[in-house]
């Protein structure tokens, strides 16, 4: 690396632990001076790189960096912005090179999911084509847990813990009132194409009859008749029914139940909320009183109930990314490799980005129960270690978590303004 500067950026939907990865990158880089120069962070992901909005993290105090580890959100700002192919928008790639060159940046870390891995891969290929020496390393993050190769994705374990705890607690509430009030509770969770988060709700079901009695996965076409029968059976057997539904559930024709008719910046269909759709089916077919809730941002920002294992994973991939850069690697991602289920053991390995970008890991059939409404023992064996342990943030005297929002020092711009 020869002491060149490093640029770190966050991308896509944030997680409860993405800032732990950021802290690990910064702290590990600082420990390897003078082989590594300064660590800069882009404001709002790749958009900040294009617009030359760069934060000098060397101005952050040691305690401020350490405090990032227990702060949710994306402290440097994230974005949903997908670079087109070089043939379609070469000017953006040329601009990236200009920014890298202007600030002596030799390594680019992009902390995100599938689309971010694709962006890092494209920049890596562009760097070779334009003969500019910049190493591009993607750092894994996504609550959806759908990245290929890696055993799991930092961010998922904490969201899984939140979902399992939430459906357990809400079900105790419903159970208390079911004889004279609400009989069906529906909790919507994220997961557009893969049902990993919905599956995590199944961890609350430790004995027969425990909630959630029904899980609706994107991998299983929604069957209204079978669903209604399952709800009726649970109410008649247990007195109530708790349902976890993934936002990406589709009907037999492959259409989202909650298609809002619009698309996001990545070209993905916007979903308008599947819980009320499912609730209406319960009302229409069974007439039960119901309540529904959408976890939405709550599930991915709940740092107060983060998984200690997830924090360990998020920290490890940040440290590994810096070490890969020191080893001269580019076009790769540090990934989590499970080496044992019982006891749970893992290590960090390396994977090429072309094996990860634009690939999607869905729930395997062996993880979904035969009736399509639950998880199997094999799925529980996979999921359970990922939610182990607590890593509570420090709390202030006012009873609230001590989350940080540091004041940043931005680099002086050296280039003309750029419109995105």
Q: Among all residues, which ones are annotated catalytic?
A: 144
CA pair distance 102, 288, nearest whole angstrom:
64
Angle in degrees, 0-180, between the axes of helices 308-326 and 156-177, rounded to the nearest 10: 170
CA 89 to the chain's CA centroid = 28
Measure the CA dihedral 245/251/257/261, to 10°: 140
Are 119 and 110 spatial neighbours (Cβ–Cβ below 8 Å)?
Answer: yes
Measured from the Cβ of residue 173, the count of other Cβ atoms closer than 10 Å reads 14
> 103: cis peptide before it, omega within 30°?
no
What count of other Cβ atoms lies within 10 Å of the Cβ of residue 207?
Answer: 5
Cα pseudo-dihedral 16, 22, 25, 31, rounded to 10: -100
Are 356 and 397 spatial neighbours (Cβ–Cβ below 8 Å)? no
User: In this structure, are strands 54-56 and 105-112 parallel, antiparallel, or unpaired?
Assistant: unpaired
Check: CB of residue 192 under 8 Å from CB of residue 256: no
On whether the CB atoms of residues 139 and 109 are closer than 8 A, the answer is: yes
Please count the CA atoms within 13 angstroms of the CA of 311 that sit on its side-chain side.
21
Do residues 274 and 215 make contact, with C-beta atoms less than 8 angstroms apart? no
φ and ψ at residue 82, rounded to 5 degrees: -105, 125
CA distance 57 to 231: 53
Residues 58 and 62: their CA atoms lie apart, in Å, by: 9
């Amino acid at each position: 690396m020869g002491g060149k500067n490093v640029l770190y950026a966050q991308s896509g939907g944030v997680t409860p632990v993405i800032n732990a990865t950021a802290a690990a990158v910064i702290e590990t880089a600082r420990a390897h001076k003078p082989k590594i120069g300064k660590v800069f962070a882009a404001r709002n992901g790749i958009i900040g790189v294009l617009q030359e909005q760069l934060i000098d993290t060397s101005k952050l105090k040691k305690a401020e960096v350490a405090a990032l580890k227990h702060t949710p959100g994306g402290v440097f700002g994230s974005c949903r912005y997908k670079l087109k192919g070089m043939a379609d928008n070469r000017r953006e790639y040329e601009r990236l090179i200009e920014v890298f060159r202007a600030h002596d940046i030799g390594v680019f870390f992009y902390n995100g999911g599938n689309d971010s891995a694709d962006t890092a891969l494209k920049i890596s290929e562009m760097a070779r084509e334009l003969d500019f020496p910049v190493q591009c390393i993607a750092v894994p993050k996504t609550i959806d847990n759908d990245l290929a190769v890696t055993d799991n994705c930092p961010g998922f374990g904490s969201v899984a813990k939140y979902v399992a705890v939430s459906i357990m607690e809400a079900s105790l509430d419903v159970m208390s009132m079911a004889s004279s009030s609400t009989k069906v509770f529906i909790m919507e969770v994220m997961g557009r194409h893969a049902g990993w988060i919905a599956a995590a709700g199944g961890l609350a079901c430790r004995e027969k009859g425990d909630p959630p009695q029904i899980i609706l996965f994107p991998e299983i076409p929604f069957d209204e008749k079978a669903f209604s029968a399952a709800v009726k059976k649970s109410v008649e057997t247990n007195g109530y029914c708790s349902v976890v539904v993934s936002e990406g559930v589709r009907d037999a024709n492959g259409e989202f139940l909650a298609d809002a008719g619009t698309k996001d910046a990545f070209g993905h269909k916007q979903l308008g909320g599947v819980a009320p759709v499912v609730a209406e089916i319960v009302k229409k077919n069974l007439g039960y009183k119901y309540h529904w809730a959408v976890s939405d941002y709550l599930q991915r920002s709940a740092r107060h109930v983060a998984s200690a294992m997830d924090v360990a994973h998020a920290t490890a991939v940040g440290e590994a990314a810096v070490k890969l850069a020191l080893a001269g690697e580019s076009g790769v991602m540090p990934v989590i490799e499970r080496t044992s289920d019982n006891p749970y053991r893992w290590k960090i390995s390396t994977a090429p980005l072309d094996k990860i970008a634009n690939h999607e890991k869905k729930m395997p059939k062996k993880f979904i129960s035969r009736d399509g409404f639950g998880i199997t023992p094999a799925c529980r064996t996979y999921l359970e270690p990922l939610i182990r342990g607590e890593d509570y943030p420090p709390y202030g005297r006012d009873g609230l978590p001590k989350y940080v929002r540091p004041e940043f020092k931005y680099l002086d711009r050296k280039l003309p303004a750029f419109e995105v």
